[in-house]
Homo-oligomer: A and B are copies of this chain.
Amino acid sequence: MIIDCHGQYTTTPDPHQEFRDAQLAQLEDPGLPEPKPAAISDDAIRESIEANQLKLLRERGADMTIFSPKASGMAHHEGDEATSRAWARACNDLIHRAVGLFPDHFFGVCQLPQSPGVPIKNSIEELERCVNELGFVGCNLNPDPSGGHWTSMPLTDRSWYPFFEKMVELDVPAMIHVSASCNPNFHATGAHYINADTTAFMQFVQGNLFEDFPDLRFVILHGGGAVPYHWGRYRGLADRLKRPPLPEHVMRNVFFDTCVYHQAGIDLLFRVIDIDNILFGSEMVGAVRGVDPETGFHFDDTKRYIDALDIPETNKRKMFELNARRVYPRLDAFLKARGK
C-alpha cells in the first residue's frame, strides 16, 4: 500500500475561491454583505479531483493521499480571527466532502483558524470538530500566521502547549506548513516554505519540547527544508548547545516527507535520515507542476526517484505505508477497520 502524506486540494471548484474573494472584499468594505460558503455540487468536487489528484495518484501508482486544504490558501495573515474561522471551516468542510466522495483514496487533514496574535488554543475547537466529527487524521499547523513577518513565538514556547496537549489527547500529528507570504523578501514556495521547515526543526533542536510531550508528532514537509543537506551542522549545533544527539532529542517525534524534486536530493535524504523518519509525499498538485526537461517526467513525481533507490523492500514499505500508519494512528485505525 502506498500512502502519499502530502496532498493538497489546490484544484477546488471556482465558487470556493469566490467565497474567499468575497470574504476579503468584505474586509475591505464592511458595508458589503457577509458572504456565505459557496454551494458546490458533488459533481463539481468529483470532477475537480478525478481530473487532477486522483488521475495523478493512479498514473503514478500510489493508493491514497492524506489530503489537506491548499496550504498557500490558508493565508492566516488576512483579516482577523473570525475571517480565519469562517475560511478554515469552509475549507475543511470541502475536504470532508471530497474524502466522503473518494473514501478509498483520501483522508482529511485540517486547516486551523490561526490568526496573528490570537492564542493557538482558539484553534482547538476546529481541530476537535474535524477529528471527532469529520474523521480527520491530522492538522496543518502554521508556525508563522503572520505570513512572513514571524511575529509569533517559537513552537517550543509554552503558549503553544494547550494545542499540543489536545493533539496528544486526540492522537493526531501536525504537519508544519506556513502559508502564502506577504513579505516581499520571501517567495512562498521557493523560500518561505523551505525556511519555515528549517526554522521549526532548529526550534526543536534548541528547545526541549519533546521532554514535555514525548508523544507529540510533527511532519516537517518538503524533505525537512534544508535540514538533511546540513545534517552535520545540526548534529554539531545540538552538541554545541549541549543537547542530546538528534536521534533521541528530536527524531523520535519529527518526520520528513519526500517532497524533494530531483534524484540527488532524494538520495541524500535516504542516506542521512533514518528510514523510520521518512514518509512518502509528493505535494501533489502543488508548487512545482512542470515536467523536468532533464528526465522527461514531472518534477513532483517523487515516487520515481524512490523507485530508483537501491534500498530493501522492507524499508520501502516503511516509508510508503508503515510510517504513515504509525504517525497517523487514526488513519491506521480506519484502514484496519476496512481489513487493510
User: Which residues in A have some Cβ–Cβ distance to B below 8 Å?
Assistant: 143-144, 148-150, 152-154, 157, 183-187, 189-191, 194-195, 198-199, 202-203, 205-206, 222-223, 225-226, 228-237, 239-240, 260-262, 264-265, 267-268, 271-272, 287-290, 292, 294, 299-300
Compute how far the CA of A112 lies from the CA of B154 in the bound complex, rounded to whole angstroms.
Answer: 30
Q: Chain B: which residue is nearest A288 at the CB level? A: B236
Given contacts A223-B230, A235-B292, A267-B268, 16 further A-B contacts (CB under 8 A): A149-B150, A150-B185, A154-B185, A187-B202, A190-B205, A190-B233, A190-B234, A198-B198, A228-B229, A230-B260, A232-B262, A232-B288, A233-B262, A236-B292, A264-B271, A265-B268
Give the interface centre of A150, A185, A206 by most chain B CB atoms within 10 Å: A185
* Of B150, B226, B231, B239, the contact of A225 (CB 8 Å cutoff): B226
CB-defined A-B contacts under 8 Å, sample of 20: A143-B185, A150-B183, A153-B184, A154-B185, A157-B184, A186-B202, A187-B202, A190-B234, A191-B199, A223-B230, A225-B226, A229-B268, A230-B261, A233-B260, A233-B262, A235-B292, A236-B288, A236-B289, A237-B288, A240-B290
Is there contact, CB below 8 Å, between B268 and A226?
no
Number of copies: 2
By a CB distance below 8 angstroms, the chain B residues around A292 are 232, 235-236
Q: Chain B: which residue is nearest A152 at the CB level? A: B185
Compute how far the CA of A324 lies from the CA of B231 in the bound complex, rounded to whole angstroms.
Answer: 26
By a CB distance below 8 angstroms, the chain B residues around A288 are 232-233, 236-237, 240
Known: A232-B262, A235-B292, A237-B287. A191 touches B187 (CB 8 A): no
Compute how far the CA of A334 lies from the CA of B152 in the bound complex, rounded to whole angstroms.
Answer: 49
By a CB distance below 8 angstroms, the chain B residues around A287 are 233, 236-237
Compute how far the CA of A154 lies from the CA of B185 in the bound complex, rounded to whole angstroms.
Answer: 5
Give the shortest distance, in Å, between A112 (CB) and chain B (any CB).
Answer: 18
By a CB distance below 8 angstroms, the chain B residues around A262 are 231-233, 235, 272
Compute how far the CA of A103 lies from the CA of B199 in the bound complex, rounded to whole angstroms.
Answer: 39
Is there contact, CB below 8 Å, between A206 and B190?
yes
Compute how far the CA of A233 lies from the CA of B259 in the bound complex, rounded to whole angstroms.
Answer: 9
Give the shortest distance, in Å, between A292 (CB) and chain B (any CB).
Answer: 7
By a CB distance below 8 angstroms, the chain B residues around A235 are 261-262, 292, 294, 299
Is there contact, CB below 8 Å, between A185 and B198?
no
Is there contact, CB below 8 Å, between B226 and A198?
yes
Compute how far the CA of A150 lies from the CA of B199 in the bound complex, rounded to whole angstroms.
Answer: 15
* Of B187, B233, B260, B271, the contact of A261 (CB 8 Å cutoff): B233
Is there contact, CB below 8 Å, between A290 and B185?
no
By a CB distance below 8 angstroms, the chain B residues around A195 are 191, 195, 198-199, 226
Compute how far the CA of A234 lies from the CA of B292 in the bound complex, rounded to whole angstroms.
Answer: 11
By a CB distance below 8 angstroms, the chain B residues around A237 are 187, 189-190, 287-288
